[in-house]
Amino acid sequence: MDADFRELTRGESGFDRRIAEISFNKLPFGRTPDVIATPRTEAEVVELVREARRAGRKVAVLSGGHSWIGAAIRDGGLLIDMSAFDEVEVDVPARTARVGPAVRSGALAERLAEDELAYPSGHCGTPAFAGYMLGGGLGLNWGRWKPACYSLRGIRVVTAAGDLLVATESAHRDLLWLARGSGPGFPGVITGFEIELQDRPADTRVSSWLFSLDDLAAVCGWISDVSPALPAGVEVATELIGPDRPEHHPSDGFPDKAVGVTAIAFAQSEGEARGALEPMSAGPGVPVLAHGELESIPFEHLHKGVDTEYPEDHRYLADTFWTDRDVGEALMPLQQEFGRAPSGKNVVIALMPGNGARQGLSNADGAYSMDERTLVMPYSIWTDPKDDRANGEWMAEMVGLLEPLSTGHFISEADLEAYPERLARCFTPANWERVLSLRDEWDPDRLFHAAPGYGAGAKASAEDGDAA
């Protein structure tokens, strides 16, 4: 190989440490690549892909490693670590930015705020840009701005053939369509993104409430009733919260398990934010354990509190369920089982995107296409390996309760490892067929590792040796 790549080979000193560093989830995956290569330039990425093709070595791509199922850490082959591609270039007059795949979501939000600009950045600040975008980007203010992947205007990508292409609406549009939410099976290495920007909300306000889990029915009824009256610039999350969560703050008299509600108003003034949240002012008519009203948090700092809720050096299980039910119908079946959660850090989050109104996403604009009333996401979070079985059993119980209500899944957080059939249900049927067809077209020899689930598709072949 001509280029001087920084490489680590399995068995070499430092290899296992590097794998541990790039794995956000400390629950073992049981998968290890043969080689990790860290290119610094696009030319080096091209050479890596071409050499892998010549050697018959499969390729996976890492942008930040925040995927809790370790989507980039495949068994065998080459892992291309894109961590050196972390630059941001903002064009203020054009209201666009060029973003490297390794740029962290929170860092990008803070950089754009310097020019009073924004985009639907992640609720968490630690995921890297490529994984976030390829997963759809269910970000801040998405009720008004839509998922972040719809902000994409172009990508620079090294294909399975080893060609460097620029994909836009007018050239190689199929690759841009795939980049808008097709997930970890993307057939190429994206070296750069161009995104459209929005005006930064000048006055972001957060109101929060904490109630006893026993009052879940009343709380869910309140949220379901007021949600249609909220403007698109309000985002509401209803959470079942364990006692060791940072959102809980237990004290004397507090219940062990709680239900929390957080409402964020993305506005241009305090008055606008206050008016946007006014429909929630009456409350659910049950005792409030804690309440914060209209706290001012800059848009670019919203991720900081969320980051504390998903700590590093922990073990994670998670899954996602779209449903056409309202938040009460989605959460009430979970109340008893959540009360038996084996970890005090466990949480279940329910979002009503667009405040209960479907967004009308166009299948023609991007692969991302699930568009339902409520998204429910259970998380089990713990540290001690001795608790693996208990948390696994608890998550299986939650899955069993949610699956009968589910119309689909959100690809970024779905458990594709345990349930590979989830992948097809992260898309509309038409978009799933197109994802499979385009993957066949752009990577017919299966150079790139498939995500779990591709082997379950009608057009995916048994050549995907790593697909479940």
**Do 375 and 306 share a domain, yes or no?**
yes
| Residues near 176 by beta carbon (within 8 Å), at least 6 away in sequence | 152, 154, 155, 167, 168, 169
Predicted pLDDT at 388: 97
Assess whether 387 and 264 both reside in one domain.
yes
pLDDT at 464: 40
Express each pLDDT in 179-228 by its tens digit. Answer: 999 999 899 999 999 999 999 999 999 999 999 999 999 999 999 999 98
Which pLDDT band holds residue 5 (cuts at 50, 70, 90)?
Answer: low
Domain of 68: which CATH number? 3.30.43.10
**Is residue 32 located within the same domain as residue 62?**
yes
Residues 300, 360 share a domain: yes
When pLDDT is cut at 50, 70 and 90, the band that residue 453 belongs to is confident
- Cα separation, 217 vs 222, in Å, equals 9
Residues 187 and 207 in one domain: no
Amino acid sitting at position 7: E
Backbone angles phi, psi at 350, to 5 degrees: -125, 125
The span from the CA of 206 to the CA of 199, in Å, is 19
Report if residue 463 sits inside a domain.
Answer: no
Query: Both 364 and 226 in a single domain?
Result: yes
Domain boundary among 139, 172, 199: 199
Placement of tokens 């370790």 in the chain: 70
38 and 124, same structural domain? Answer: no
Mark whether 110 and 155 lie in a shared domain.
Answer: yes
- pLDDT at 462 exceeding the cut of 90: no
What pLDDT is stored for residue 1 in this prediction?
A: 41
Name the domain boundary from 199, 232, 263.
199
The residue-averaged pLDDT of 323-333 equals 94
Q: Predicted confidence band at 460 (pLDDT cuts at 50, 70, 90)?
A: very low
**Phi, psi (deg, nearest 5) at residue 242:** -80, 165
Residue 467 lies in a domain: no
Q: What is the DSSP-derived secondary structure letter of residue 450?
A: P
Number of DSSP helices (H) and strands (E) in the chain, helices first: 13, 20
pLDDT averaged over the chain? 91
Half-sphere exposure of 368 (CA within 13 A, CB side): 28
Same-domain check for residues 312 and 245: yes
Residue-level pLDDT at 363: 79
Structure tokens at 266: 């993305």
What is residue 354's predicted lDDT score, i.e. its pLDDT? 52
Which residue, 114, 291, 125, 294, is CA-closest to 197?
114
Give the structural domain span for 236.
Answer: 203-422
DSSP letter string, 333-374: GGHHHHTT-SSTT-EEEEE-GGGGS-----TTT-S-----SE
Backbone angles phi, psi at 295, to 5 degrees: -70, 130
Q: 2: pLDDT confidence band, cut at 50, 70 and 90? A: very low
Domain boundary among 81, 111, 144: 81
How many domains in the chain? 3
Q: What is the pLDDT of residues 357-380, one digit of tens each?
A: 556 677 789 999 888 889 999 999
Spatial contact of 152 and 178, defined as CB atoms under 8 Å apart: no
Half-sphere exposure in the Cβ direction for 168 (13 Å, CA): 6
* Closest among 419, 458, 415 to 435, alpha carbons compared: 458
Instruction: Write phi, then psi, for 422 (nearest 5 degrees).
Output: -60, -35
SS3 131: helix
Give the DSSP H/E element, type plus range, for residue 307: helix 302-309
Query: For residue 313, is it within any domain?
Result: yes
Is residue 53 pLDDT above 90, yes or no?
yes
pLDDT tens digits along 381-437:
999 999 999 999 999 999 999 999 999 999 999 999 999 999 999 999 999 999 999
pLDDT of amino acid 458: 38
**Inside any domain, residue 451:** no
- Give per-residue pLDDT as tens, 120-152: 999 999 999 999 999 999 999 998 999 999 999
148-184 per-position pLDDT tens digit: 999 999 999 999 999 999 999 999 999 999 999 999 9
Q: What is the CATH number of the domain that holds 252?
A: 3.40.462.20
- Taking only the tens place, the pLDDT of each residue in 425-452 is 999 999 999 999 999 999 999 999 988 8
Question: DSSP state, 207?
Answer: E
Residues 144, 130, single domain; the answer is yes
Residue 265 per-residue DSSP state: E
Res. 463 pLDDT band, cuts 50 70 90? very low
Tell me whether residue 342 is in a domain: yes
- Structure tokens that stand for 202 in this block: 């000048």
pLDDT the model gives residue 253: 62
254-313 residue pLDDT tens: 678 999 999 999 999 999 999 999 999 999 999 999 999 999 999 999 999 999 999 989
What is the pLDDT, as a whole number, of residue 276? 95
Q: What is the pLDDT of residue 456?
A: 46
User: 468 falls in which pLDDT band (50, 70, 90)?
Assistant: very low
Q: Is residue 260 part of a domain?
A: yes
Question: Based on the domain organization, do 145 and 171 belong to the same domain?
Answer: yes
- 77, 103: one domain: no
Q: Looking up tokens 């056409």, which residue turns up? A: 324
Using an 8 Å Cβ cutoff, are 350 and 332 in contact? no
Q: What is the pLDDT of residue 333?
A: 96
CATH of the domain at 183: 3.30.465.10
Q: Does residue 97 form part of some domain?
A: yes
In a domain, 338, yes or no: yes
